[in-house]
Structure 1
Amino acid sequence: MRFVVSSTALSSRLVALSRVINSKNSLPILGDFLFEVVGGRLNLTASDSEVMMKTSLELTENDGDGRFCVGNHDLLEAVKGISEQPITFDVDQNSNIAKISYQNGVFSLPVENADEFPQAQQIGDGATTINIATGVLAENINRSLFATAQDELRPVMNGIYFDLTSDYLAIVASDGHKLVRNKVLNIHSEQPASFILPKKPATLLKNVLGKQGGDVVIRFDERNAEINFEEGVIICRLIEGRFPNYNSVIPQSNPNQLTVDRLGLLSALRRVQPFSNDSSNLIRFHVENGTLQLDAEDYDFSKTATEKMMCDYNGTPMSIGFKGSSFIEILNNFDCDQVNIQLADPSRAGLVLPSEQPENQDVLMLMMPMLIND
């Protein structure tokens, strides 16, 4: 079998697929890319047995259909360094060798039987379908990933929860200390459904969706999801279990309203945070009379820091403690000029909202407070 393909097109697809492959695999074949030539197109697949990603590209020329597997590392390293030009694959499946030639050279690699490569999980006939704009899905995944947990005892917290209701699609992530809830208001269904997307396929989507146009089509049942986007498809096993009732932890009334410049607060927190205690990372927020004061202290090493900034505040004077690194993550995952921080009292969760909500969306982040000693 012989086919010719663009070097840069092949390289970009292989780089995306390589993120699926683990450094250590239970089966040697899981360290390979699957190549399938069908009808003038090259279909490429990578899998770790839990997550499978497929993509395809047009061939310049080919002399027939066929399929084979080839190790990911050597092929990727060789192809990455080739400038834009045609690459020719000559595959002899009798000797199990692929000869890859380009303008200034040639190399050969062993190939393996494609029949050993794992099959994709099948989605049941009663699957639920969600159509969502590529940009909306990408920004919601980007906004939520940082809030997922690494909890072996509660695996349901280790992914992003998609909750399709009759009013909206909620995309939620939480580690028990912070929570992100995104509502996509123009997506809803009379038949409620939900699934928990593991962190790995979510990260893959974050990397491949980019600025692609069009819609992403998500089909899912109780066990698996199939996510079709412009350049390919991801098929993955879902996290099984019941996600906690996220609405029950979101305060319905936080009367103290603080509006502050997002980048100004972010810069101040970054300056103050190094002076906080390494184990707690506690930053004290004191707000009163249009002034927000940030305090950090580490008495073990005789370090303290204080910074004040102007804000708009409508509420009673208050001191409340938050984990500095987590608050920095929250601010980093907004792209608005100002944020609105809603507080009730020092023992209840604070809400952070953008000054302007994205079109057809309702974004909210929640931060649990820390105990402070006055």
Structure 2
Amino acid sequence: MKFRCERDTLAEILATAGRAVSARGGALPILAGVRLEVAGDQLLVAGTDLDLTIQAKTTVAGGEDGVCVVPARLVADIVRALEPGAVMIESDDEEVRIASGRSQFAVRSLAADDFPRLPAPPDQSGAVTLPAADLSDALRQVVRAASADDARPVLTGVLVAAEEGGLRLVATDSYRLAVRDLPGAHVLREGQKVLVPSRALAELQRLLSGAQEVTLRLGEHDVTFEVGEVRLTTRLIEGEFPNYRQLIPASYPNRLIISKEALLDAVKRVKLLVRDQTTPVRLAMRADGVELTVTNPEEGKATEDVDAKYEGAEMTVAFNPAYLSDGVEAITGGEVLLETLDALKPATLRATEASGEYLYLLMPVRVT
């Protein structure tokens, strides 16, 4: 195998495919590599961890067809460190040679025959195209609420469900819940729902930056997204997603309307005294505003008053400050609506000018 490619283009394609490479490749060392295949003037780079596969394609020059597998991180670091300009890569059965300017590297390759079989190109029928900006914004709002705990695999996924008039994305880690509707996005059959790993959707969100559209194809056990010359395929999660609807109250007696920026800034300041995940921020809500308080018995106390409009009974509710900031940051618009029942039941955050498309539900922290 042999080809020539500009450094920046090669570095980008290696980084893109490399993000699927397994971080736990100890049992299968081949999963620490990326597969490079040249066919004509096309270079296809692929990385996988068996659940997530990313394939990226670009045009190269001076190519000789062939396949090799190289250590993903090492080769990406080498290419990124080279001087700007053309990079020549050539491989044989034992090593890959990388040359640019006066720099030359010889890296031992991995056995190409050991690399997992790549997902076959998806059937062109059933493809659905969505505006990239809409899906990217929805992922930004929802993926943050998914769990990172592999002990509960279902909660590491994002529920993608067909709803009347469009598509709904839902994620929860049991402490907070994010729901986003995409009206007019008819991707699934009526009543159909799938559970997509949040890690894959986080990578998809990165790919969508600056893109115009994304093509989605749903298989029996996986889903494929195509963005430009990049194809991302991920296995679906098996299992039953929690019944989230029962957590969302039909109405709330207490409503706080506050500037998004002012609330984020205030939380950022008072949580300087937070030293662990068990220290909450208290919100004392009254007609003319809200007082934020963080108390750290070992180091002191922080309070800040923020102007706001409040309707309801005066009350104090406490939240995990990181989860609160996550929810506020995800909301679009200049103001946030915080609705509560009491100090112990789930509260919701949404935009004041909401069209009902996004909701962030947050469990309070019990304080004495």
- Same fold by TM-score greater than 0.5: yes
* Alignment partner, residue 247 of structure 1: 245
Q: Is 1:352 the counterpart of 2:349 in the alignment?
A: yes
Distance 2:324 2:358 in 1: 16
Give the secondary-structure state (helix, strand or coil) at the position aligned to 2:171: strand
Q: Is 1:76 the counterpart of 2:73 in the alignment?
A: no
Instruction: Name whichever of 39-48 and 146-155 sits farther off.
Output: 146-155
- Segments of 5+ residues of structure 2 without an aligned counterpart are none
8 A Cα contact 2:255 2:338, kept in partner: yes
- Segments of 5+ residues of structure 1 without an aligned counterpart are none
Instruction: Name whichever of 78-87 and 301-310 sits farther off.
Output: 301-310
Distance 2:267 2:335 in 1: 15
What code does the residue aligned with 2:8 have? T
RMSD across aligned positions (CA)? 2.5
Give the secondary-structure state (helix, strand or coil) at the position aligned to 2:366: coil
Which structure 2 residues correspond to residues 1-374 of structure 1 after superposition, within 5 A? 1-25=1-25, 26-62=27-63, 64-93=64-93, 96-121=94-119, 129-188=127-186, 189-213=188-212, 215-275=213-273, 278=276, 280-298=278-296, 300-301=297-298, 303-357=300-354, 362-373=357-368
What code does the residue aligned with 1:69 have? V
Distance 1:38 1:271, change over 3 A: same
Instruction: Name whichever of 7-16 and 76-85 sits farther off.
Output: 76-85
Distance 1:152 1:2, change over 3 A: closer
What code does the residue aligned with 1:109 have? V
CA apart distance, 1:48: 1.4
8 A Cα contact 1:155 1:239, kept in partner: yes
Distance 1:108 1:201 in 2: 32
Distance 1:303 1:80, change over 3 A: same
8 A Cα contact 1:8 1:83, kept in partner: no
Give the secondary-structure state (helix, strand or coil) at the position aligned to 1:252: coil
What code does the residue aligned with 1:370 have? V
**Structure-1-length-normalised TM-score:** 0.89
Distance 1:2 1:155 in 2: 42
Give the secondary-structure state (helix, strand or coil) at the position aligned to 1:311: strand
Distance 1:269 1:84, change over 3 A: same
What code does the residue aligned with 1:160 have? V
CA apart distance, 1:275: 4.2
Distance 1:118 1:87 in 2: 27
Count of residue pairs brought into register by the alignment: 366
CA apart distance, 1:279: 5.5
CA apart distance, 1:242: 0.9
State the identity as a percent.
Answer: 23
8 A Cα contact 2:16 2:54, kept in partner: no
What code does the residue aligned with 1:148 have? A
Instruction: Name whichever of 18-27 and 276-285 sits farther off.
Output: 276-285
What code does the residue aligned with 1:322 have? F
CA apart distance, 1:152: 4.3
Distance 1:112 1:305, change over 3 A: closer
Distance 1:72 1:307 in 2: 48
Distance 1:307 1:234, change over 3 A: same
Distance 1:365 1:235 in 2: 28
Give the secondary-structure state (helix, strand or coil) at the position aligned to 1:267: helix
Distance 1:290 1:240 in 2: 48
What code does the residue aligned with 2:195 have? I
Instruction: Name whichever of 318-327 and 124-133 sits farther off.
Output: 124-133
Distance 1:111 1:238, change over 3 A: same
What code does the residue aligned with 2:20 have? V
Give the secondary-structure state (helix, strand or coil) at the position aligned to 1:77: helix
Instruction: Name whichever of 139-148 and 10-19 sits farther off.
Output: 139-148
Distance 2:367 2:257 in 1: 23
Q: What does the per-residue CA deviation read over 1:219-274, in whole Å, with 9 as the maximum and x for residues that have no partner?
A: 22342121211131111222110111222211111132211011111121222234
Instruction: Name whichever of 249-258 and 120-129 sits farther off.
Output: 120-129
Give the secondary-structure state (helix, strand or coil) at the position aligned to 1:348: coil
What code does the residue aligned with 1:314 have? E
8 A Cα contact 1:261 1:338, kept in partner: yes
Distance 1:370 1:81 in 2: 47
CA apart distance, 1:285: 1.6
